[in-house]
Structure 1
Amino acid sequence: MQDEVGSRGEDRRDNDELVPQRGARSEENPPVFNLPTGILVALALICGIYAIQEFLLSPALNQWVAVEFGFSPIRYLYPLDEQSLAWLWTPVSYSLLHGSFEHLAFNSLWLAAFGTPVCRRIGEVRFVLFWVVSSVAAAALHAVVNWGEPSLMVGASGVISALMGAACRFAFGDRQRSLARLSGWQPPLLTVGQALADRTVRVFIIIWFLGNIAIAFGMPMLGGSTASIAWDAHIGGFLLGFFGFAAFDPHTGRHTRA
């Protein structure tokens, strides 16, 4: 998972607090692709955009796409009314672009892995809103850290980091929560304190942050390319996902079962 920058105490609740997973399918009729529609559409979109850039656009047009749809901190140094509206859409559009096939493939794998449980839990509409907000959050921290830099950032990994942070609030945990997910229930959302009290969540967060701190000090990331990696966008996305996921979760505060 990487964004590329170019030269421009455990929670153990009763079963009656578990929320049924919407759209659960019977074991007798499993889906051909075990991915929700929202994830399949997102994968098709980012792969389709990359294919168009790679095989249909000229180098000059590709450069224009990168400038007009990639995120650049320097854009916000100039009066907004004296430039195009790219300042408005680039905090989101950059997340749909990728700088290489390796970059795209790596992010696609992480999107399928962590986007699937989140999308199943919150549904497609909320998933789109979560994508937009987490993309903006990742871009915002990247802009703060690199204020005024003439770089261009592309890649979905700020969003994927947010999905990882969101998953820490419900997808990890003790045996009861794992059995609930396997049986088609949605486990209740953990509070921030409950999530941090869970050993699995703590270990995941520590390893994740250490990896990104290592990137900040110049160490290469597994699956990374020769381009710089926007570790700050990763952190911005993760913090949004971990602390803000409750705002997108329709099961927050609900304790019902079918």
Structure 2
Amino acid sequence: MFNVPLPVLLIALSMPVLFFFQQQLPDMGASMAFAPADLEQGRWGGLFTSMLLHASWPHALMNAVAAVAFGAPVARLFGDRIGPSVFLLFYVSCGALAALGYGLIHWGSPNPMVGASGAVFGLIGAATRLLGAHGRVRPLLDKRVIAMSLAWMAVNLFTGVVGYMPGAEGAQIAWEAHAVGFVVGILAIGPLGRLFKRGVLIEEETA
């Protein structure tokens, strides 16, 4: 928490700051939200602008804390030279693809979606292959990666079905976007780890 990389800290701080300004808008930012129906009409901007919005203070703060916790190992993997730019691109890509996945699943729905949760779940997916690996990437089929992935998806599905999450305030939870963001993150971190020469951690088999 005290050694969090700067790009992670800036993204986390931007969430409550942007929500403060969002509250000052006449429509509370509704015009920048994403609805699956936008895809039919060729409006793609919401895939990106929706992750700048949140539904409530708890929603914004919870995502900010999660971004710090799970974004730090991802940012450290990318290093300090072009790393911050790569981290930002990774974060935005996870969020946009998560929203796109949600839009394809709920094709034609007019119900708007807001929040950076899809991008944050991308960080969670990536961190799932990094935690405890000493700066390298665990194999996708590593038993610890599989176990943590199943646990995260179980929690995600539970909150989606039950419909309870701090700050949701009765709104429908876009758990599908969370799942898509997680899958994007956990898959993309493998080739990115090789690109940044940290490699994939190969465990020695034990009897």
TM-score, normalised via structure 1 length: 0.69
Q: Does 1:218 align with 2:166?
A: no
Greater CA radius of gyration, 1 or 2? Answer: 1
The residue correspondences of 1:90-239 to structure 2 (distance < 5 A) are 90-122=46-78, 123-172=83-132, 177=133, 181=134, 186=135, 188-193=136-141, 195=142, 197-198=143-144, 201-221=145-165, 224-239=168-183
> Do the aligned residues in 2 keep the contact of 1:246 with 1:252 (CA within 8 Å)?
no
Pairwise CA distance, 1:222: 5.3
**Which of 68, 73, 78 is equivalent to 2:36?**
73
> Do the aligned residues in 1 keep the contact of 2:35 with 2:109 (CA within 8 Å)?
yes
TM-score, normalised via structure 2 length: 0.84
When you count strand as a share of all residues, which structure comes out higher? 1
Pairwise CA distance, 1:37: 0.6
1:12 alignment partner in structure 2: none
Q: Which has the higher contact order (CA 8 A, sep 6+)?
A: 1
- Higher mean alpha-carbon deviation, 45-54 vs 233-242, is at 45-54
- Higher mean alpha-carbon deviation, 69-78 vs 101-110, is at 69-78
Task: Identify if the C-alpha distance between structure 1 residues 211 and 133 changes in structure 2 by more than 3 Å, giving closer, same or farther.
Answer: same
One-letter amino acid of the structure 2 residue matched with residue 205 of structure 1: S
Note the alpha carbon deviations across 1:182-210, whole angstroms, 9 max, x for none: xxxx2x222212x3x23xx3332222111
> Do the aligned residues in 1 keep the contact of 2:138 with 2:200 (CA within 8 Å)?
no
**Structure 1 counterpart SS, 2:164:** coil
Q: 1:145 & 1:254 partners in 2: Cα distance? A: 32
**Which of 12, 15, 19 is equivalent to 1:50?**
19
> Do the aligned residues in 2 keep the contact of 1:166 with 1:242 (CA within 8 Å)?
yes
One-letter amino acid of the structure 2 residue matched with residue 206 of structure 1: L
Q: 1:254 & 1:227 partners in 2: Cα distance? A: 40
**Structure 1 counterpart SS, 2:162:** coil
> Do the aligned residues in 2 keep the contact of 1:130 with 1:248 (CA within 8 Å)?
no
Task: Identify if the C-alpha distance between structure 1 residues 98 and 223 changes in structure 2 by more than 3 Å, giving closer, same or farther.
Answer: closer
Task: Identify if the C-alpha distance between structure 1 residues 254 and 218 changes in structure 2 by more than 3 Å, giving closer, same or farther.
Answer: closer
Pairwise CA distance, 1:223: 5.8
2:192 alignment partner in structure 1: 248
2:10 alignment partner in structure 1: 41
Q: 1:163 & 1:219 partners in 2: Cα distance? A: 23
Number of aligned positions between the proteins: 195
> Do the aligned residues in 2 keep the contact of 1:102 with 1:225 (CA within 8 Å)?
no
Pairwise CA distance, 1:160: 1.0
Note the alpha carbon deviations across 1:160-182, whole angstroms, 9 max, x for none: 1111110121214xxxx4xxx4x
Q: 2:60 & 2:150 partners in 1: Cα distance? A: 26
Structure 1: stretches of 5+ with no match in the other structure: 1-31, 81-86
